[in-house]
């Protein structure tokens, strides 16, 4: 089985490292990467480095590194590990490569990544998924992971209920990756969304890690208010989330090391030209508009973050 990981950042670097290390020179799977620009040059030269308490030997040399998705000759499984603002361009390129049995597994944040991919790629099998891992680029080609082991939850493609991804599941499990399969992953995806949209926005607005948001009553109240708005949206969309989702989300945030930043916070703090605000406040505001639900707290925080980005 050929697995291709697109995006050698926090997520692609962490999970890709484990897959590449496990299946190096193996008959079972070939693990390839697509990395661009300086990341390609550095990883080609030095290898991919993962700094994590989980790995003794922190360097792996990918069996094959491609410069561009267009160059990839063949792949059975594609892991999409880019930010949302690169997804559309990636899907445009990928579309040409997808056969009916090709599997696409997006490892990204956002409540509607499955729909976004499907809008661009009608073929193949797209597995809805969400991911928990605190791993970020220390510098290009060097990924730093902290805290709990990374975890993936994936489900069936609603368009291909006959396909059960057992082979993919086994390959990940054998690589020591905590991955769970659930027929319907959308409840899990929304559960993650409650967490990352609220804590992502608050952490980006105040440049504070997860622990500080939990500990500060004012920030905690704002995070709770964003979650109430997401809850109203989820209920109207008939998404199956637990009744006490807000309480569970605060418990989840508290289970991360105090100083864990979010990926949105790091991008906003670094004044990146692009951020994933569109996935978080952007999506909540447009769901609110579509479903006639007021989302004043999210709208206000979105404006505050954007004002900060302009300064």
Ligand X SMILES: NC(=O)C1=CN([C@@H]2O[C@H](COP(=O)(O)OP(=O)(O)OC[C@H]3O[C@@H](n4cnc5c(N)ncnc54)[C@H](OP(=O)(O)O)[C@@H]3O)[C@@H](O)[C@H]2O)C=CC1
Ligand Y SMILES: CC(C)(CO)C(=O)C(=O)O
* Tokens at 67, concatenated: 């410069």
Query: Among the candidate windows 50-58, 126-134, 281-289, 292-300, which touches ligand X by CB under 6 A?
Result: 126-134
What residues between 121 and 140 interact with ligand Y by CB under 6 A? 132-134
CB 181 within 8 A of CB 155: yes
212 binds, among ligand Y, ligand X, none (CB under 5 to 8 A by kind): none
Structure tokens at 143: 């990924």
d(CA 263, CA 167): 30
Counting contacts by CB under 6 A, is residue 49 touching ligand X? no
Q: Which DSSP letter does residue 281 get?
A: I
Considering only CA atoms, give the Rg of the chain.
Answer: 19
Least Cβ distance, residue 25 to ligand Y (angstroms): 31
Q: Which residues contact 46 (CB under 8 A, 6 or more apart)?
A: 59, 141
Please report whether residue 50 would count as binding ligand X according to CB under 6 A. no
* Site size with ligand Y, rule: CB under 6 A: 8
Residue 198 makes contact with ligand Y by CB under 6 A:
no
Long-range contacts formed by 160-166: CB under 8 A, 24+ apart: 160/125, 163/125, 165/103, 165/125, 165/127
Interaction residues for ligand Y, span 205-264 (CB under 6 A): 260, 262-263
Q: Note the Cα 130 to chain centre separation in Å.
A: 6
Min CB(22)–ligand X separation in Å: 20
How many Cβ atoms sit within 10 Å of the Cβ of residue 199? 29
Show the site string, 71-110: x = touches ligand X by CB under 6 A, - = not: ----------xxxx-x---x----------------xxx-
Q: Where on the chain is the footprint of ligand Y (CB under 6 A)?
A: 109, 132-134, 196, 260, 262-263
Q: Where on the chain is the footprint of ligand X (CB under 6 A)?
A: 6-12, 34-37, 39, 69, 81-84, 86, 90, 107-109, 131, 133-137, 263, 276
């Amino acid at each position: 089985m050929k697995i291709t990981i697109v995006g050698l950042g926090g997520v692609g670097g962490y999970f890709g490292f484990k897959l590449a290390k496990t299946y190096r020179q193996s008959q079972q799977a070939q693990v390839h990467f697509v990395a661009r620009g300086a990341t390609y040059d550095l990883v080609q030269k030095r290898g991919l480095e993962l700094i994590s308490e989980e790995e003794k030997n922190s360097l792996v040399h990918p069996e094959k590194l491609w410069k561009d998705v267009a160059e990839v000759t063949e792949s059975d499984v594609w892991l999409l590990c880019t930010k949302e603002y690169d997804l559309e361009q990636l899907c445009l390129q990928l579309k040409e490569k997808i056969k009916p049995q090709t599997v696409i597994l997006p490892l990204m944040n956002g409540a509607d990544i499955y729909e976004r991919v499907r809008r661009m790629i009608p073929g193949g099998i797209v597995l809805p998924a969400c991911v928990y891992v605190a791993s970020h680029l220390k510098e290009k080609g060097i990924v730093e992971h902290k805290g709990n082991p990374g975890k993936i939850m994936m489900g069936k493609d609603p368009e291909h209920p006959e396909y059960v991804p057992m082979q993919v599941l086994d390959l990940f499990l054998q690589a020591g990756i905590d991955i769970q399969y659930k027929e319907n992953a959308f409840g899990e995806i929304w559960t993650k969304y409650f967490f990352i949209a609220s804590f992502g926005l608050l952490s980006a607005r105040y440049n504070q890690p997860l622990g500080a948001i939990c500990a500060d009553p004012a920030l905690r109240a704002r995070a709770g208010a964003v979650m109430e708005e997401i809850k109203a949206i989820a209920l109207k969309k008939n998404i199956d989330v637990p009744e006490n989702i807000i309480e569970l989300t605060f418990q989840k945030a508290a289970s991360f090391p105090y100083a864990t930043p979010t990926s949105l916070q790091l991008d906003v703090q670094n004044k990146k030209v692009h951020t994933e605000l569109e996935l978080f406040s952007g999506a909540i505001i447009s769901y609110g508009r579509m479903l006639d639900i007021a989302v004043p707290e999210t709208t206000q925080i979105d404006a505050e973050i954007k004002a900060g980005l302009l300064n």
